[in-house]
Chain A
């Protein structure tokens, strides 16, 4: 559906993007994650035919964005960070205008309108002038204009921008509902938004993709899945013996005691260790400690925290 090959974009001498290359298959939901200013919007605007790449090739559904931009524009729905809504128009008139601009007939727009209003839940505000809409509704109307012409590819740039927590939850639900009928590309610097709505992630840093894959694959890349934490109540042999027992296990590379400085609520008579291994060694650790007369209070895999993956990657963890 989307193919980028060595795409770059320069603003004067400054490189804002690239070179980046990736592909997105039909029906995928892909998140572009990156801090502010790393080139996310530049990338999305290139895909939406709103910005010319300095070099490289971009094809959407087999059409080159430079050679055949109108064919690409017919196939793409784009929600920029600020929804392009005319305040003087009612929501209904605005959506009709957007649909006609995208090449739909008046009859097709009339037929499509109730479906779009329903799926974006804007029916109750359809006759209101857009200038009276709340930020949440403006964002929904922005999504509505992006899907009015049933595009194959839906591009959403920071779709939860400026929304309150309730509106964010609603927007996520809306995006999840759209996954069945569109290939979706979402950019965000808000990590839960990406992890809760996307099948695959592209992590962008300084205009380049530093990692891509599913959330689990990215965690694995930073060894987070091979990191566990155990809290024990040592037996008669003491804390040092418990630590030595863990360290002596095959597959365990490192055992680090954790304390209050690591955010651990210490209990009298117990000790917590972080264990890094070549593989998931939870079962071996538990068995060994119990056999050695230690009580295992908790034993957990390192939390699946996308934030840690993200920070690790943009801080050089991918290297």
Chain B
């Protein structure tokens, strides 16, 4: 097992051992369930099963985004706050291995949380008629949007030893990517097209919630992850020798 694997294991176990993992998990599952029964199933009982599932993934993507922000804050800032970063800094481990190990651990935990909501699509499957592909696409979308927000959060967490600062930076950047869609409608072409292409949810997630895989959406999320993980690595490199 390389350094990435060693760090992945420690970080994943940290989520399982610490209250934060359970708190985030409980809140996400509770709200996902509430939204599913209250809004997705909701008063319009005549809605098609595929539409109900689409609405479920729409709300789940919001919850995944919030969970990703919260889960990412501690990743590096907490190490600096408690002084454990020194162990990583003085070990023969590359910064990209640290960043990747932490990112994959957070993504695995977030995916496990999302996987725990599978009973809701299965309820629709039992009582209605939906394509398995839509479920697969929806969860793939949740993983991708969660990964993108985690990467943004990891970058925010690398910037400061304060988790509050990390929260502010991550929230601002994530909100900006959400608002690009609204902004695109307020400006002229070609800027509108550019901003729309950057919109993290409306442009790139909607396909997944409807069961459609678009290569451009997958590339977009993977690019976002790569970009912010790269930035986080550079920040780590700079701060390691600071």
Chain A residues within 8 Å of B, Cβ to Cβ: 48-52, 69-71, 73-74, 76, 78, 80, 82-89, 97-98, 100-103, 106, 145
Contacts and interface: CB of A to CB of B under 8 A. Distances in A.
A102 B92 contact: yes
A74 B90 contact: no
Q: Which of B17, B88, B241: most chain A Cβ within 10 A?
A: B241
B87 A88 contact: no
Contact of A85 (B3, B14, B84, B85): B84
Q: Which of A73, A82, A98, A100: most chain B Cβ within 10 A?
A: A100
Contact of B10 (A82, A84, A85, A89): A89
Contacts of A49: 89-90
Contacts of B14: 86, 88
A101 B83 CA distance: 16
Contacts of A83: 83
Nearest to A145: B87
12 contacts: A50-B240, A78-B90, A80-B83, A84-B83, A86-B10, A88-B18, A89-B13, A97-B6, A98-B91, A101-B92, A106-B1, A145-B87
Contacts of A88: 13-14, 17-18
Nearest to B17: A88
B86 A84 contact: yes
B242 interface: yes
A107 to B, nearest CB: 12
Contacts of B82: 86-87
Q: Which of B3, B86, B240: most chain A Cβ within 10 A?
A: B86
A242 to B, nearest CB: 61
B84 A52 contact: no
Contacts of A52: 241-242
Contact of B92 (A51, A73, A106): A73
Contacts of B242: 51-52
Interface of A is mostly: loop
A74 B92 contact: yes
Q: Which of B3, B85, B86, B87: most chain A Cβ within 10 A?
A: B87
Interface string B70-96: 000000000000111111111111000
B90 A86 contact: no
A76 B90 contact: yes
Closest 9 CB pairs of A and B: A52-B241, A70-B92, A84-B87, A101-B91, A73-B92, A82-B83, A84-B84, A88-B17, A84-B86
A97 B85 CA distance: 13
A74 B3 CA distance: 14
Given A73-B91, A89-B10, A103-B92, A50 B18 contact: no
Contacts of B85: 84
Given A50-B240, A51-B241, A100-B6, A80 B93 contact: no
B86 A101 contact: no
Contacts of A100: 1, 6
Contacts of A71: 92
Nearest to B6: A100
Given A101-B88, A106-B1, 4 more contacts: A71-B92, A78-B86, A83-B83, A89-B17
A73 B92 CA distance: 5
Given A86-B14, A100-B1, A50 B6 contact: no
Contacts of A97: 6, 10
A187 to B, nearest CB: 15
A49 B87 CA distance: 11
A50 B87 contact: no
A73 B90 contact: yes
A12 to B, nearest CB: 12
Interface string B176-201: 00000000000000000000000000
Given A80-B83, A84-B84, A84-B85, A48 B90 contact: yes
Interface in B1-30: 1, 3, 6-7, 10, 13-14, 17-18
A82 B240 CA distance: 17
B240 to A, nearest CB: 7
A78 B88 CA distance: 11
Nearest to B10: A97
Nearest to A79: B86
